[in-house]
Amino acid sequence: MRPFDYQRAERLEHASQLAADSETLPLAGGTNLIDLMKLQVETPQTLVDIGRLSMGEIAEEGEGLRIGALATNTATAAHPRVRADYPVLARAILAGATQQLRNKATTGGNLCQRTRCYYFTNIDQPCNKREPGSGCGAIDGVARLHGILGTSPQCIATYPGDMAVAMAALDATVEITGESGERSVPVRDFHRLPGDTPEKDNVLEPGEIITAVTLPAPVSGKHIYRKVRERSSYAFALCSVAAIVDMAEGRITRADLAFGGLAHKPWHDPRIAELLVDSEPSLALFDKAADLLLEGAQGYGENDFKIPLTRRTLTAVLCDATGVEA
């Protein structure tokens, strides 16, 4: 690990001011950032510790819920309103990492966690995300965890988190504060596709700090989070589906779906709800939904299996949600 300065922010404005320097990074739970610093993947000159700021509260916000950026994953998953009204979120969080990590991991840090691409975390390897212009080791390399949707010739990495996939299905909003004021961004638009600038994971500008995530008023329906991974715990998603699906009189009335493990961001395709809502559920319909989702999907050799895996996982989730026999 390279030597660095440590500053503790006492006020949010102070944290934004310090973090506006491109050599400074905010530190929350540290479970991702410190690991990457040990590997010299992240080499900030200064860490600004935001852990003492009062951003840990989970509170009612109208009919919805505001989850502070410093609320731990454990506190969020255990919160009675989350368990009762947003179970897909509790299930997604509990499908991630381990109890010890979730005790430290925060809402803001979880949203900003970096990719698990093996080339990104190995400084001896080429990686356009870590070192723009150096190439992408994963294309034509070891790409089992990598993306099949929205990839670019510069980067095929996936966003590895679970929590944000459920938040995308719930259409939650990220609240952000920076030197130029406050703004809100839908979780669905918070992470970026890699394009020609894979070094930028999300839409945060220098100095911007996530202060909270707001969940809209709860909606009726069955909540499902299904995560397919190499082993049943302590592993990142090969493919995950967060779903809130409701039915009335034999027809689907709601189908809010988001997908993890497939792209540089939690994947949300509004065409899937348009297809499913007002239709009678059937295997043929689910197959059409998978066709839409996977339109333009591209494998990179080692991860070709994700295309049929995603089709099967989506079908299984929709069967579970609607009672159709697989």
Ligand X SMILES: Cc1cc2nc3c(=O)[nH]c(=O)nc-3n(C[C@H](O)[C@H](O)[C@H](O)COP(=O)(O)OP(=O)(O)OC[C@H]3O[C@@H](n4cnc5c(N)ncnc54)[C@H](O)[C@@H]3O)c2cc1C
Residues that bind ligand X (CB under 6 A): 25-33, 35, 50, 69, 96-97, 101, 104-106, 108-110, 112-113, 161-163, 204, 209-210, 234, 236
Q: For the stretch 44-76, what's the b/e string if a residue is b when 16 or more beta carbons lie within 10 angstroms of its beta carbon?
A: beebbbbbebebbebeebeebbbbbbbbbbbbb
Q: Does the protein bind ligand SF4 through residue 41 (CB under 6 A)? A: no
Residue 127 interacting partner from ligand SF4, ligand X, none (CB closer than 5 to 8 Å by kind): ligand SF4
The whole-angstrom separation of Cα 230 and Cα 104 is: 24
Of 54-62, 111-119, 201-209, 310-318, which segment contacts ligand SF4 by CB under 6 A?
111-119
Question: Which segments within the chain are labelled E, that is strand?
Answer: 5-8, 24-27, 46-49, 58-61, 64-68, 173-178, 181-186, 209-215, 222-228, 239-248, 251-260
Given candidates 115, 177, 310, 322, which one binds ligand SF4 under the rule CB under 6 A?
115
Q: Does the protein bind ligand SF4 through residue 136 (CB under 6 A)? A: yes
Give me the least distance between CB of 283 and ligand X, in Å please. 30
Listing DSSP states for 179-200 in one string gives TTEEEEEEHHHHB---TT-TT-
Give me the least distance between CB of 151 and ligand SF4, in Å please. 8
Give me the least distance between CB of 129 and ligand SF4, in Å please. 4
Q: What is the CA radius of gyration of the chain?
A: 19
Write the binding mask 142 to 161 for ligand SF4: x where contact by CB under 6 A, - elsewhere. -------------xxx----
Residue 41 vs 289, nearer CB to ligand X: 41
Residue 255 interacting partner from ligand SF4, ligand X, none (CB closer than 5 to 8 Å by kind): none
The whole-angstrom separation of Cα 77 and Cα 92 is: 9
User: Phi and psi for 43 in degrees, rounded to 5?
Assistant: -135, 60
Q: Residue number with the shortest CB distance to ligand X?
A: 109
Q: Does the protein bind ligand SF4 through residue 96 (CB under 6 A)? A: no
Give the containing element (helix H, strand E) for 83.
helix 80-85
Give me the least distance between CB of 271 and ligand X, in Å please. 26
Q: Does the protein bind ligand SF4 through residue 128 (CB under 6 A)? A: yes
Residue 155 vs 289, nearer CB to ligand SF4: 155
Tell me which residue of 211, 261, 234 sits closest to 107, measured CA to CA: 211
Tell me which residue of 39, 55, 85 sits closest to 174, measured CA to CA: 55
Q: Does the protein bind ligand SF4 through residue 286 (CB under 6 A)? A: no
Residues 226-265 that bind ligand SF4 (CB under 6 A): none
Residue 212 vs 294, nearer CB to ligand X: 212
The whole-angstrom separation of Cα 109 and Cα 91 is: 18
- Is the CB of residue 158 less than 8 Å from the CB of residue 265? no
* Interface contacts to ligand SF4, rule CB under 6 A: 115, 117, 119-120, 127-129, 136-138, 155-157, 198
